[in-house]
Amino acid sequence: MSTKAPETAAEFLAGLNGQRVLVTAGAGGIGFAIADTLSRLGARIVVCDVSDEALAAAPGKIDLVAAVKADVSHEDDVDRLFETVAEKLGGLDALINNAGIAGPTGGVDEIEPNDWRRCLDVCLTGQFLCARRAVPMIKAAGGGSIVSMS
């Protein structure tokens, strides 16, 4: 028995209906645009962010299952975030690993080590911590996707 591949973008994207998706840094900027688009296509969305203002505003702008304050560079925050994902979504089909910050700019002799470490913690460790927690949930769902932004 063969299955027909989607012919149009609309047919392809219809497959997102009901999918359980976490978007990190999803209450503002690019993450918000991603969460909004996926929500409009029928996905069930949880977002996290570090901005209280963005987290408070996001649910009034798009349909969200939950908006969680979490700094992805902190393992305890990531653990709490994924506990919420499990509770509210009952599993996970996709992670949009969007959280990141612009690194320090300047000559190597001008950059403060703490600024360097913060950039690595958010942009690298945060992606690892989220993927580490997402993979078992995605496996349990029978497969899915992780999109890591850089």
Q: Is 90 part of a structural domain of the chain? A: yes
Q: Is 94 part of a structural domain of the chain? A: yes
CATH label of the domain that carries residue 68 = 3.40.50.720
Average pLDDT over residues 99-126: 95
Question: H helices of the chain, where?
Answer: 9-13, 29-40, 52-61, 75-89, 113-120, 126-140
The per-residue pLDDT for 5 is 64
Tens digit of each residue's pLDDT (9 = 90 or more) over 21-34: 999 999 999 999 99
Q: Is 10 part of a structural domain of the chain? A: no
The first and second tokens of residue 115, run together, are: 């600024």
Cα 15 from chain centre: 19
Tens digit of each residue's pLDDT (9 = 90 or more) over 44-102: 999 999 999 999 999 999 999 999 999 999 999 999 999 999 999 999 999 999 999 99
The first and second tokens of residue 4, run together, are: 């027909």
Count of the separate structural domains present in the chain: 1
The per-residue pLDDT for 46 is 98
Residue-number span of the structural domain to which 114 is assigned: 16-148
* Torsions phi, psi for 96 (to 5 deg): -105, 100
The set of long-range contacts for 102-110, using a CB threshold of 8 Å and a minimum separation of 24, is none
* Torsions phi, psi for 119 (to 5 deg): -60, -45
The per-residue pLDDT for 16 is 86
pLDDT band at residue 138 using 50, 70 and 90 as cut-offs? very high
